[in-house]
Amino acid sequence: MIDELLAPRYLGWLLHGFFNTVVLAAVVCACATLVGFVLCVLRAVDRGGVSVAVRAYLSVFRNTPLLVQLFFWYFGVSSLFPEGWLEWLNTPHTWRVVALHVMWPPFEYLAGFVGLTLYTSAFIAEELRAGVRAVPAGQVAAGLAQGFTPAQVWRHIVMPQALRIALGPVLGQYMNAIKNSSLTMAIGLAELSYASRQVETETFKTFQAFGVATALYIAMIVLIEWGGQYLRRRVAYPH
Partner 1 sequence: MKFRFAAIAALALFAANVAHADRLDDIKRAGVLRVAAFDSNPPFGFIDPQSKKIEGLDVDYGKAFAAKLGVKLEIIPTNPANRIPLLTANKVDIVLANFTITEERAKQINFSIPYFASGQQFIAKKGVLTSPDQINKLRVGVDKGTTNEIVLREKFPGATLVAYDDTPFAFTALRNGNVQAITQDGPKLIGLLANVPDKDKYEIPPFSVSDDLIGVGIPKGETRLTDFVNTTLRELEASGQAQKIYDTWFGPTTRTPLKRIFKIGDKS
Q: How far is the CB of 20 from partner 1 (least distance, A)?
A: 13
Q: Does position 194 bind partner 1 by CB under 8 A?
A: yes
Does residue 107 belong to the site contacting partner 1 (CB under 8 A)? yes
226 binds partner 1 (CB under 8 A): no
Interface size with partner 1, residues (CB under 8 A) = 22
Kindly state the smallest distance separating residue 6's Cβ from partner 1, in Å. 16
Question: Which of 149, 152, 201, 229 touches partner 1 (CB under 8 A)?
Answer: 201
User: How far is the C-alpha of 24 from the C-alpha of 109, rounded, in Å?
Assistant: 8
Element (H, E) at 96: strand 94-97
Residues 6 or more apart in contact with residue 125 via CB below 8 angstroms: 35, 36, 37, 39, 40, 43, 54, 58
Q: Is 203 in the site for partner 1 (CB under 8 A)?
A: no
Asked if 113 interacts with partner 1 (CB under 8 A), we say no
**What Å distances lie between residue 151 and 45, 85, 143, 144, 206, CA to CA?**
10, 43, 11, 10, 56
Mask: binding to partner 1, 64-83, rule CB under 8 A, as x and -? ----------xx--xx-x-x
Distance CA 80, CA 188 (A): 19
Residue 168: count of CB within 10 angstroms of its CB: 14
Q: Which is nearer to partner 1, 173 or 196 (CB)?
A: 196
Q: First vs last Cα of the chain: how many Å apart?
A: 55
Q: Does 186 sit near partner 1 (CB under 8 A)?
A: yes
Q: Which residues bind partner 1 (CB under 8 A)?
A: 74-75, 78-79, 81, 83, 85-87, 90, 106-108, 185-186, 188, 194, 197-198, 200-202
